[in-house]
Every structure is written in structure tokens, then in C-alpha cells.
Chains A and B, each alone.
Chain A
Amino acid sequence: MNINRRQFFKISAASLSSSGLAALGMTPTAAQADVRQYKLFRATETRNNCTYCSVGCGILMYSLGDGAKNAKKKIFHVEGDPDHPVSRGSLCPKGAGVLDFIHSPQRLKYPEVREAGSNEWKRISWEEALDRIARLMKDDRDANFIEKNDKGQLVNRWTTTGFLGSSAASNETGILDVKFARALGMVHLENQARLCHGPSVAGLAPSFGRGAMTNNWVDIKNANVILVMGGNPAEAHPVGFKWAVEAKVRNKAYMMVVDPRFNRTAAVADFYSPIRAGADSAFLLGVAHYLLTNDKIQHEYVKAYTNAPLIVREDYKFEDGLFSGYDAEKRSYDRSSWAYELGADGYALRDETLQHPRCVFNLLKKHVERYTPEMVSSICGTPKEDFLHVCEKLASTCVPDKTTSILYALGWTHHVGGSQMIRASAIVQLLLGNIGMPGGGINALRGHSNVQGFTDLGVLTTMLPGYLTLPNENQETLQAYLEQRTPKTLVDKQVNFWKNTPKFMVSFLKGMYGDKATPENNFGYDWLPKWDRSYDVMAFVEQMHKGKANGYIIQGFNVIAAAASSGKVREGLAKLKYLVVMDPLQTETSSFWQNHGEFNNVNPTDIQTTVFRLPSSCFAEENGSIANSGRWLQWHWAAQTPPHEAWHDGRFLGTLLMKLRELYAKEGGVCPEPLMNVDWHYHDPKDPHPEEVAKQLNGYALADLFDDKGNQIAKKGELLSSFAHLRDDGTTTSLCWIYTGQWTQAGNMMARRDNTDTGLGNTPGWGFAWPANRRLLYNRASADPSGKPWDPKRKFLHWDGVKWSGADVPDYPPTAAPGSGVSPFIMLQDGVGHLFSMGAMTDGPFPEHYEPEESPIPANPLHSGSGKSPVARIFKDDKPTFGSREEFPYVATSYSITEMFRHWTKHSLLNAIVQPEQFVEISEKLAASKGIKAGDLIKVSSKRGHIRGKAVVTKRVMTLQVAGQEVEQVGIPVHWGFEGTARKGYLANTLSPRVGDANTHTPEYKAFLVNIEKA
């Protein structure tokens, strides 16, 4: 014991001053002691869903007042909803801090304008703002609207003003976006899905039929092995990750993480192995090779439920990295040879013995034979023994009573070959027999809270709601469109559910144009814009940059921060005539013209764009529905009114459309019919209510409907209960066929709150899941062809002699008996899972590893040519912006971290406190070689610009051995910017290149080259 004089004095002095009194019994008063008053008694409690990620956690919002008319509600506390089947009361740091997002000091309070060349915002009225915006839009539309193209085809498109929707907005806002933008003829209509999970749809739909997470959050608990690759759910989806941990803790599951850095998911996994960013296809094809060469496949499943036995055309070839049909000039493939050989009956030829050299099974074997463990290790930098360990664990689930659940997110979609990485995982899971199985599946963990919804609603350049496509200019008539878009059945007896395309399309057109859509005018088909090319985000940035765009309406989308190459976006925005930003927050996009020193070094006087900044409500101030990653549509309620003069998005769209109609009525103009005829019969056309829009999305019977036997299904004017009731004769309407059933005569199905577990964690009474309230897609594949569950412990559906029933709604014709020969993948033409994807992918029927456009190695060890994707989306003007490995030797990969959500949470004080400042992660070895210590400021440069951040020097980023050389990786969290509550930072996407995935034009954010230095 070592006590100095001072400490002794302190102690004894305290004796005198206080305790002495007590010892003498002379405490002046009995000090009161009690717990803090509980702060929620009688506060108004409102149910909602978190606005950040796609887990869709239930939240309880507490507002001032007990609901009395004279009390103004204001949310003062938010916590998790314990009844919610997924979140069960939990909230991650983002959700737990959402109060400070709602009340962020950066919330917009009233409309403002920044005049061309001006250096300041000026407050204006809504009236003035909308008058001016309507004028600008009409002038641009009248000047640039294209009614007919050069070939004389009717195209009715407006290409010079674009519209970005927000994947954090509700479905009701989303469908109004679609109606508004398409009515005006806009073709650049996009949302964050383009920069996010676009490749999920492109990779999953051709494999299984639908582009969505196959299972759902809670189901992950049923897994035996969990592979987290191309994702980091502990950080990006912490509450959904609850169920992966549940699998570990309660189901003895083995969890593996393969990722460029040892992340927080790895912190709780059983096994972690590093991989070079962008090499995932090689890894997964190596797994397929391992399963095939070691005979670790679920034979019966593969034979019955995949296209392994089907025979491919003779002219299909694959040589040295190129599939048959390549046109080097156009950088694209003629995909006609990537198809089955058809018999005289029009059905695909098959060989049940799997012996035919051209059956899919043997083509796959041949295709993956190059992906040996040695090759995988060389390309990926993953130690061979690590790779084999992952293979062995996955292989252990090729038996019927074990499953692997694969969890991925942007770590796959954010690559130039992202769609094919997902395809590669699909091949692995089909070989293992893990699709349609509880505890199996490929779980695409979607990003934003409603990015699933905005994808469902087709807020994407060439899409329409319900995964219908927007017609292209060669589909000149409805008949031509339907003929091309309605797929032929390729295997006898199969459902081929897309054969119903005409019913879905006509019902959409009836929803779109209401009474104005008649059989005589092809239900208004001519009024839809027809596209000549993709007007995706990358393409529109290019267009702006070339000065070929004039206007941009941006709703809750911080495009300068989110799109690749922020510098080019900034330059593009500066060439616009007008920019309208509708957002709850001050974003970098709205203030792109403002000088923020090193972070945004521009001269406002040089920028002639007129910028309108309009305040919108946020999720906490609206009613509506959002779709989570598990396709659950959940209804939420407002807990306070929008602050100050903020408006709901629907009010903005409705008021603006009415102003445009007034202008067209008064002045005339180019092609007014679509915008005059779009159905906008709301109780207040200037401010549609979410409830009436949600019912429109669901759809109505427009006449008394009867089934084949003459039984009445619905009376005229009633809400429909199923998309099976839709008609192609104009007697039904549904704006989004997959959502039919969400709001029926029985009420709002999305608002249901019955969390009863019907088995294996399934809760069909909570909200509504598309399609048809099915919670686990392809669930018929959970049983063998004879109807027996593959695993008796995973009995999910059973045949009761008359129909299928069980814990879930069958994703299958309910009366197709076992042995009927109807296969489980009902959305596909052949009914089976696709190891070989025929013509659905633009870059190959099988995945192939191509090097990223900016690669740290001189050549792809697999090919003799460049070894890069022959069909990746690259604009000519961008080629000079790609850096070389000599100049930029390190692989950069960008990502999100737990405490933050993209570029939103920097506006929330609670989140700024826990992750205040921009940083960059590097290995100890790289740091040592550059003399960098943890906490030093470092500069990271790519050919496109630079950022600065604090160095986090860590063992968690490892130096890899790739193709005989050392490769260092640099980790770049993306969350900061020059607006917000957190410390000012650079937009991380200043660094990322403009190279897009061939299928989706989603940019490469996660494998490009940089250099670093001490700043």
C-alpha cells in the first residue's frame, strides 16, 4: 500500500466534512433517494419502422402530449418494438439514434432557392417555388420532348430532365413518383437500387425466378452453416444479424466470414478468411469445382430441381474468357446460342443420366474445372487451406438434413461483375440443395429501408411496377410488347407464371390511366415513354456532363455522395439549368455549388444552375408502407407533423402536377395527353393520401368478377384479394400486381400485427409479404418430388391429400399433387433452378472471374487477353480516369460501418458522437512502409481525386499474396461529407471509378486502385 500525504489528507478531511456528522447522528435532513421519473407515462406511442436499412425493425415513437387536439406532438424518444418478429425490441446504433435524425439541426424548414451564380440560399414560398419549377419543367419538356424517333416510331419520351426517387420513401410515394414521371415521359427515373442491389435482381431472378432475398431474416436461425461473403451484416444489418447469432447460439451453427477485412461480423464468426476485393466469383466457382470433384452435391435435388439434365445448344461455346456470340465492336454478346436445344414439341431436350456432354451439368463441370484450389488461392489471395476449410464446411450441407444460409449484400453487388458473383452463389446453393429450404437460401440483405419496395415498383429507367419492363421503342404496340415479354414454357407441365404477363400489364395500364385506358386505345399503351437505351444514373451523369441534360428532380437521394466519381457528378450538376432537391435534410447534392474549402472547392459564381431546396417530411411524419428485405410490406404511422413548412412528397408531386396541367390547359404544349390522362383521382389531387394510394397499388375489380365455375370472386368496385384475379380485358386494375393482396376488402393487411410462429420462426400474420404472403420463396423445394420433406425437422409444407398447406403459403400451385411433375421454380420457363442461365444475363450463362477494371495484378491468371470483363459498362470519356497499378498500387474497397448509415447519420448527433470523423483502414505492414501511425492524417488518391482521413492501422487488414505478388488493401468507410453534425469530411466516392456491371450498370465501388501518403 502506498499512500502519500495528500491522499491521506483528502481522505481524513472528508471524514471531517461529512461522515463525521453522520457518525454523530447529526445528518441535517434525511436525503431523498429515488429513481429518475419514468419519462414515458401517458406519452403517445406510435408504431413505425426504422428508416435506415432493410431489416425493417419495428420502432415505438413517443411523442409529447396524450393526443389532445391542443397538444402538438413532438417525438422525444424512440425504442424498439418488442412485438416485431424480426427485431424483437432491438435497434442498432443507427435506429437507436434515429431521434437525432428526426430532429437533426440540418432538417430543412422552408423552401429555398439558390439563384444561378449566387452564393446564398434565399427563402421563398412553396407557391413561388412550384410556379417556377413548373415553368422550368414545361419549357424544357416542350423544347425537348421526343414524340417520334428518327425511324418514325412513337416514343413519347422526355430525356432532358431526370427524376430520382428515394428508396427511403414509402411505396405510396414511390408509385406516385412512377405515375408522375412516366406521365411526363421521363425515362431517367431511378432510385438508389441502381447503385445498390441492382445486381441482386439481375443475378437472382435468372437463377430462381425472383430477384429477392430467398428466405427471410428470422429464418436464418434455422441454418447449420452460415457463409457471410460479400456482406457484413453485423455492421450493415445488425438487428437482422440477430438471427445468424441465434443460429450459432441455439442451433450450433458454424459461421464463416470471407471478406477483404476482418470486420465486426468476423469478430463473432467461427472462421474468417481474407479475400482480395473483387475476386469473389473465382472463390465461389472454386467452391462449385470442389463440390463437383468431391461429389458433395445433393444428387436428387440437382436432378429434379435444377436444369442440370437439360441440353444446351451445340453452338454454345466458352473459350479463353469469351462466351459464344461476342461482338468486340459493340462490346456485347449475341446471346442466342446460350439456350437449350429444343425438341419438336418446343420443349428442352434432357438427359436424366447426366451423361450428355452438352447437358448443363457437364458444361458446368467443364466450366469450373479451371478453378482449382491453387488457382482460387492465387486469384483471391485466400490461403489455400482457408479456402478448403470453407469448402468442407459448405460441403457438409449437401445432405438433405443440413443447410447453408448465404448472407451477402453490397460486397457482391458493388462489383463490375456483381451480378455474376450472385449467380455463382446460386450455383453453389443449387448444387447443395439449399434453395427453398428453411435455413438455406441466398439472402440478399437489401440496403435502404424501402429499396426493395422501390425495386418492386419499378422506379428504374427501363422498368415498370411488379418487374414488368418499360416498353422499348421497337415494342410499338401493346400486342408486340406482350408477345415479346410473355415467355414460352420450355418444359412440359411447368407453371411459367410469367405467362400471365398480359393480365399484369393491362391491369397496370388501367391503374395508370384509369377510365382513359380502354381496349380501343390499347389501355393507353402509346402514352408510356419508350426507351432507346438505358437512362440509368451513370448514363444520366454522362449526359449532364456533356451538357445534354437541363433539369433534375431529386427526391431524398444524395446523388453526389452516392454515385461513383463525385467530381464528375459535381461537374454535371453544374451544367444543369435547374436542380430541384426535395429532402428532409441539407445534402451535399443540394449544396454542391457551395464552397466548403478543401471538401468542396468550387466557385459559386461559376455555377449557373438554379437550385431549389424543398423540405420534405421524413418517415416519422407520414403514414405508409415500406418493404423490407424479406419482402414484408409493413404499414407505419406518423408520430408528429412535418416540421415547419415541410411537405409530404405526395403533396409536392400532386401540387406540381396540377400546376403543370394548368399550364398545359392554358398554353397548350407538346404531347399533353399522357399527363392530362394519367389517373390522379384522389380526394385531393394536390395531396393524395397514402391510404387511397395503397389501395390503388393493390387493385380493384372494375366489374363483377367470376371464376371459371361461375362463382363470384369480387363485386365491381371491391378491392382484390389476389393477383390470380387479375384480367387482361380491362376489368381489373392493379398498379403493382405483386402487391395485390396488401389491402383487401378485409382491410390493410400490411398493418397486421399477429406475430404467431406457425413453425420454424415463420410469422405469416405479421404485415403482408409479396407474393401472396409467401415468406419463404420456392418453398416447394423444401420437400422432395414425392412431397416428403428433405429434412423431417424442417417440415414446412405438406400435402394433405387435396392441397399443400403448412407453416407458409405454398409458392406453388396449391393443388398440384406430389409426383405431378410440376417443378418448384414457378416463375421460370422450365420450372427448375438455373445452373445455366440461358439468355437472361448479358455477360454469360455461367459466371466467370474477370479482373476489376483497375487491377493490382498485370494479368488475369485465367485468360490470355486483358482478363477484364468484355462487356462491362464503360463510357469512352471515362477511360482516361482509370489509374494504372504502377501509379496506384493498392486495392481500395469502400463500405459502411455499424455506427453510420450511408450519408444520413452524419446528421444525427448521437451517431456523430460514436463515429465522429472520417477514417481509412490500412494494414500494419503498409503503415510501417509509409511511416504512418494510427491516428495520423493520411491522403488517399485515385486517378479521380483524393480524400483525407485518419489512419486506423490494424491487424484486421491483411497483406495478401495474389498471383505471386503482395497486395495491400485500403479500407474506406463512406459516411462523411461537408454537410452534417459529424466532423466535415470528403465524399469517399470522389475516389471510385465509373465502371458499371454489365447487367445493371451498378458501379464498381469496392475494387479500384489508390495510392496513400501521410497527409
Chain B
Amino acid sequence: MSMQSQDIIRRSATSSLTPPPQVRDHKLEVAKLIDVTVCIGCKGCQVACSEWNDIRDEVGHNHGIYDNPVDLTAKSWTVMRFAEHQDEGGRLQWLIRKDGCMHCADPGCLKSCPAPGAIIQYANGVVDFQSEHCIGCGYCVTGCPFNVPRINKDDHKAYKCSLCSDRLAIGQEPSCVKTCPTGAIQFGTKEDMKLVADDRVKDLKERGFANAGLYDPQGVGGTHVMYVLHHADRPELYSGLPANPAISPLVSIWKGVTKPLATLALAGVALGSLFHYVTKGPNEVSREIEEEIEAEDKEAAK
């Protein structure tokens, strides 16, 4: 399952004329399976993730709930989300979901990213951010149907779970998977994970969860992080897991209409931007645009 730069199958903002090398495509497709029905919400995965990746978020506050940090941040790539649910019979369920990047087969972040090579997809299915190429525009945030990437305010770059691509590259499992005390997070080929999920769903149905099922949403081509849910018919019970996630229409416009129009009609400006790119780099271009928009907003507000 090793993974090198040569195993990239998709790069953000890269023309089909200069595609990434793709010959090493005979790879096992991997997946992380999160069985929320045996997840105890211990946050071992949160801690192991931060420890492995050498990140430390802020010491925040208690907000009257168990969720902490209360949301994903550039320095918390996975968080546990807790939801109390009373079933039809009046019995309480505490639905706990590990939230984080789903590693979509059809990644909205990658599609919407304007920075060449800032987001890549490997042959094994991992969608990885290459932070040094990130221009901090935040389109990946818009493009993500799961609201996962976060921009770090200090370096204006986007961050999210890498599925521990550095560990995968040498044949290890992701840090969260390894640490999970109850085996609620498992890792293997996507094929194997689906089989594991089948067994779990069967067991859950025997235990009275008639709607148990696997969450592998096809609206994004399936994901490389999948959930086993007791209530697969109502994923939104799990702190708003989208029932039918799809890439934002904004990204479709960008890919389908805007891009060629802009390219053709404004070729001259594009050349100008090349000059700008060479001299200043993409990051600042982006900021100029942001500033322009902000100025307009202020104008509009008057």
C-alpha cells in the first residue's frame, strides 16, 4: 500500500494536457470503516491524530456538551460529535460520530481547488492536501460536501486529515485506526471494509436495528471513509451527517461553465496573471482578489 508522488491520479487545477503520472494505478483501494455502533466517543483518535501529526489546538472551553474542540479546526483534523437521540420506544441512544475527511472518490475539494497540485488524490483513494501549494482561497471549504477543510489563520493554508498518508506510505495503518480502543475504526482495502460492514449490519439487524446500514454515499462517488450506522435511513441524526452529499453546485459551475469562459474570454488577463504568478506567486493574487471583494462589500454595505 506504499504511496509515492508517482502514484497520484489526480491533481487540483491541472489540465488534462499535463496530467500527473498515472502508470502506477494498480493499487489496492483503501478505506477506513467507522462503526459508530461500537464507538465510545473516547477521543483517542482525536488525540492520536494530533500527536502523530505534531499539532496542538488551543485549550478551549466547555460549551455545555462533550464535544471538544467543538468543531474541526486547522489544528483538529478529527472531532467526535455527540448527539442524544430518543428512539420511538423512548429509550435513549447516544449517537457518537467521528467527524473528519471522508476521502471522497470524487473529491469536491480537489475539484474546486484553483492551486495546482495543492490537493491530490492517490491511486489508493487518499485525498491529500499539499499545504505548501495552498493559496488559502478556501474554495475547498466550499467544495467539500462534508464541511471538513479548515483554513489556518496563521499561515492561510487549508488543512484536513491526510488519512496518515505518511504512515500508509510505509505500510502502516492510520494513527486513529491503530489507537481506537474498541475497534470502531478499522482500516483495510475498501473491499474488505465493505465485508466487515456487512457482518456488522447483519448483527445490528439481529439486535433490532432494522435500518442499520453502511454509509458510502454515491453522490461523491463513494468515500474512503465509511460509516456503519444503526440508522442508515437517517444519517442526519448523527450530528448532521448529510443524507445525500454531493459536490456543491458552485464547483460544477467553476468546472463546467466558468472555467472555459474565463479562460477563453480573458486570455490576455491570464497572461497577465502568469506574469503576476511568476513574480509574486498565487497566494498574493488570491489576497488581492479577496481585498477587492471586501472593498466591494464595504461599498455595498454603505
Contacts and interface: CB of A to CB of B under 8 A. Distances in A.
Interface residues of A, number: 97
Interface string A877-908: 00000000000000000000011000000000
Contacts of B8: 33
Given A92-B44, A266-B94, A35 B165 contact: yes
A249 B11 CA distance: 40
A271 to B, nearest CB: 9
Nearest to A14: B114
B241 interface: no
Interface in B239-297: 249-250, 253-254, 258-263, 266-267, 269-270, 273-274, 276-278, 282, 285-286, 289, 293, 296-297
A341 to B, nearest CB: 50
Nearest to A55: B181
Contacts of A983: 59, 61
Interface in A508-546: none
Contacts of B91: 272
B137 interface: yes
A915 B46 CA distance: 11
Interface string B181-197: 11110000000000000
Interface in A248-266: 248-249, 252, 262, 264-266
Interface in A1-53: 1, 3, 6-28, 30-39
Contacts of A10: 137, 139, 289, 293
B64 A950 contact: yes
Given A38-B167, A234-B40, A914 B259 contact: no
B203 A249 contact: yes
B84 A23 contact: no
B165 A22 contact: no
Contacts of B266: 15-16, 20
Contact of B207 (A79, A92, A270): A270
Contacts of B94: 262, 264, 266-267, 956
B246 to A, nearest CB: 12
A407 interface: no
A100 B51 CA distance: 9
B277 A21 contact: yes
A917 B130 contact: no
A340 B261 CA distance: 97
A919 B130 contact: no
Contact of B42 (A38, A82, A238, A266): A238
Nearest to A270: B207
Given A25-B15, A235-B40, A11 B250 contact: yes
B37 interface: yes
B178 interface: yes
Size class of the B contact interface (CB-based, 8 Å)? 35 or more
A543 to B, nearest CB: 38
Contacts of B42: 92-93, 234-235, 238, 264, 898-899
Given A22-B13, A38-B167, A77-B51, A17 B68 contact: no
Nearest to B93: A267
A90 B180 contact: yes
A18 B48 contact: no
Contact of B277 (A12, A17, A93): A17
Contacts of A27: 14-15, 18, 116
A954 B84 contact: yes
A9 B133 contact: no
Contacts of A934: 63-65
A909 B55 CA distance: 11
A910 interface: yes
Interface in A452-467: none
Contacts of A162: none
Contacts of B41: 264, 267, 898
A18 B282 contact: yes
A913 B263 contact: no
Nearest to A932: B64
A935 B62 contact: yes
Interface stretch (A239-247, A622-630, A857-865, A1004-1012): A239-247
Contact of B182 (A11, A24, A241): A241
B223 interface: no
A441 to B, nearest CB: 21
Contacts of B86: 955
B241 to A, nearest CB: 17
A1 B38 CA distance: 39
Nearest to A246: B183
B292 to A, nearest CB: 8
Which of A16, A90, A242, A898 is the most central at the interface, judged by chain B CB atoms within 10 Å of its CB?
A: A16
Nearest to A79: B178
A917 B64 CA distance: 10
B301 interface: no
A982 interface: yes
Contacts of A614: none
A916 interface: yes
Interface in A47-106: 77-80, 82, 89-93, 95-97, 99-100
Given A97-B47, A242-B182, A898-B41, A35 B3 contact: yes
B51 A950 contact: no
A235 B80 CA distance: 14
Contacts of A30: 18
Given A270-B207, A898-B40, A19 B68 contact: no
Interface of A: 1, 3, 6-28, 30-39, 77-80, 82, 89-93, 95-97, 99-100, 234-235, 238-239, 241-242, 245-246, 248-249, 252, 262, 264-268, 270, 272, 898-899, 909-919, 933-936, 949-956, 981-983
11 contacts: A14-B289, A17-B273, A17-B276, A19-B116, A20-B266, A38-B166, A96-B179, A268-B38, A899-B47, A935-B62, A956-B84
Given A8-B253, A241-B182, A249-B203, 13 more contacts: A11-B139, A18-B13, A18-B116, A18-B273, A21-B116, A23-B17, A32-B117, A79-B178, A913-B59, A914-B46, A917-B61, A952-B62, A954-B84
